[in-house]
Chain A
Amino acid sequence: MKKIKIADLIKYLILLTATLIFVFPLVWVFYNSFKTNSELFANPWNLAQSLSLENYTYAWKQANIGRYFLNSVIVCSISLILCLILSSAAGYALTRLKWKLSDTVMMIFLVGMMIPIHSTLIPLFLMFSRMGIINSHLSLIIPYTVSGMPIAVFIMTGFLKSFPAEIEESAVIDGASMRTVFFHITLPIARPSIATVAIYTFVSMWNEMNYALVFLSDQRKMTVPIGLNAFKGQYSTNYVALFAAVMITILPSLIVFSVFNRQVIEGMTSGAVKG
């Protein structure tokens, strides 16, 4: 009996060490973000002498983080809505309607999950330059919408396949059109999977930096990740302000995660586990 307890103790000890490795860096940045630069250099371990929000106000004003947040919210919400509309309609067609090419189309979406982002960067950059939309939010909304689609289609078709179509069939027998069925029955039924897709897709769009880095050079248009990176370039010696800026940008993600962690984890891993 005693032996088992020691084994348990070791298990928890290892896991707590791992937790420390994954979580302490964030805690460390948090409490250092209240210090002055000289305090930071004097001792990186201890707490700040006085709790001042000066770094936060400085970062917020100088780094223009408010602007970046607004840009990110605009870009990500529009992309998310478009992505959800297109993918849920596609998911419906792939599971509930009968047509010859449906397997082929599903295949195309699945292969899409494998396309490296770098292979589309240059052609899209040239295309968008020619269209004159480079440096605008539209140049992010278009690729974000599309890059969210494969996983969204995948999760939704998976859900709809597992859900019997009988309710929808009886509605059709009662005289509803396929479109009515989609809006009034299928979409409400698929709400949990849409929520999973929405949260997961939003998080990945919110953190995306490849497209944003290449397509946006105007600071006023930048989204949070590249805005933060630009701030790092400009104020590289004011470390504590950078600590505060990092803290501001990760706080929303942490809040979202503390509320929706189940959906986020489910969405992020379902593609890998079932694919």
Chain B
Amino acid sequence: MEKLRGNKTTIAIFILPAVCCYLSVAAFPLLCSAVLSFFNWDVAGLNDFVGLKNYMQLFTTDKIFQKAVVHTFAATLLCLAIQIPCAVFLAYLLTRLKRGRNFFKVAFFVPNMISTSAIGILWIFILHPEFGLVNALLRAVGLGQFAHVWLGESDTALVCVILAASWQYIGYHMIIYLCAMQNISSSILEAARIDGATSWQAFRKITFPLIAPILKIDTVLVATGSLRIFDMVFVMTGGGPNHASEVIASHMYTRSFKGMQFGYGSAMSVILMLLCIAVTVFLNMAFKRAEDKVE
């Protein structure tokens, strides 16, 4: 048995195809993009080594990139502030439900089944200045003066895109918290209730600490996901109006595949990757500190 399980040919047949494909299509390109970022590489085949010039340019002269960085961070904070509280709240309500839990679970998850391009278009309709639901609703309740050209005004465009993205993902994160909360043994909560704890106390002292590990993972998930936000921006505004909703990934897309500046685009992709890693490390440290404090 042991001999069979250690047979080199068998192992190679089973694992090598997967590993080779994986390394050549995922790991190798990752490395390439780091190397490319030090080159001035364009469609004409020009490829000079320029050192850190691409990075310097991004942080000194590229005003759109600097705007995009600010927008990306704003978007990330907004996503965290909207998606996580909503998801935790809905999941908590569902755990306290006697019937209908599955119905709500499925209903909230529906937007995750639809492609971002369909959702983006759907939200363009909802926010349409003339027949859109949002403006129609405002007019119906007599708040017509608050109607906006939501995606056409630079103050509202990015926020609207984030709302649409949150609409798509809240159900997903809710399911994650629901799983975590359902793993909590009901006898603990029952004991707390008998001892006279209010539901808020039970949530704060029992449910919340027990879902904290999942909260950490999910916060990282939301943060890194929103740092990379692209599809929704691309479909809904294309970064406009006048770069008001431009994020790092959309700027990278435009520069790389419309401007054919592959070295420059790679520099942005490297920055994006580093940002994701930095934020993950930072969040892990912040959570660790919070845990230590509680203990």
Contacts and interface: CB of A to CB of B under 8 A. Distances in A.
10 contacts: A23-B110, A29-B125, A93-B11, A112-B27, A210-B230, A224-B115, A225-B115, A232-B117, A239-B125, A242-B121
Contact of B30 (A115, A126, A203, A250): A115
Given A29-B125, A261-B109, A273-B214, A109 B131 contact: no
Contacts of A90: 14-15, 18-19
Which has the most chain A C-beta neighbours within 10 Å: B15, B27, B172? Answer: B15
A221 to B, nearest CB: 16
B239 interface: no
A126 B6 contact: no
A210 B25 CA distance: 15
Interface in A50-104: 86-87, 89-90, 92-94, 96-99
B108 A22 contact: yes
Given A41-B130, A123-B32, A149-B21, 11 more contacts: A19-B107, A22-B170, A44-B132, A90-B18, A105-B15, A112-B26, A116-B224, A145-B25, A242-B121, A250-B113, A257-B109
A206 to B, nearest CB: 7
A40 B113 CA distance: 26
Given A92-B14, A214-B257, A228 B118 contact: yes
A146 B25 contact: yes
A122 B28 CA distance: 12
Contacts, number: 257
A167 interface: no
A216 to B, nearest CB: 12
A98 B253 CA distance: 44
Interface of A: 8, 11-12, 14-15, 18-19, 21-23, 25-26, 28-29, 32, 40-41, 44-45, 86-87, 89-90, 92-94, 96-99, 105, 108-109, 112, 114-127, 142-143, 145-147, 149, 153, 169, 172-173, 177-179, 182, 203, 206-207, 209-210, 213-214, 224-226, 228-229, 232, 239, 242-243, 246, 249-250, 253-254, 256-257, 261, 264-265, 268-269, 272-273, 275
A121 B117 contact: no
Nearest to A116: B228
Nearest to B124: A232
A122 B221 contact: no
Contacts of A22: 107-108, 110-111, 167, 170-171
A40 B125 CA distance: 11
Contacts of B83: none
Contact of A98 (B2, B25, B112): B2
A81 B6 CA distance: 28
A8 B273 CA distance: 46
A114 B224 contact: yes
B233 to A, nearest CB: 12
B131 A40 contact: yes
Given A14-B93, A118-B230, A246-B122, A173 B115 contact: no
B33 A265 contact: no
A253 B176 contact: no
Contacts of A179: 10, 13
Contacts of A265: 105-106, 109, 175
B113 A213 contact: no
A87 B18 contact: yes
Interface string B92-113: 0110111010001111111111
Given A21-B167, A269-B175, A225 B224 contact: no
A124 B265 CA distance: 13
B133 A120 contact: no
A172 B32 CA distance: 44
A172 B108 contact: no
B21 A143 contact: no
Nearest to B217: A272
A272 B221 contact: yes
Given A94-B15, A126-B262, A268-B172, A118 B110 contact: no
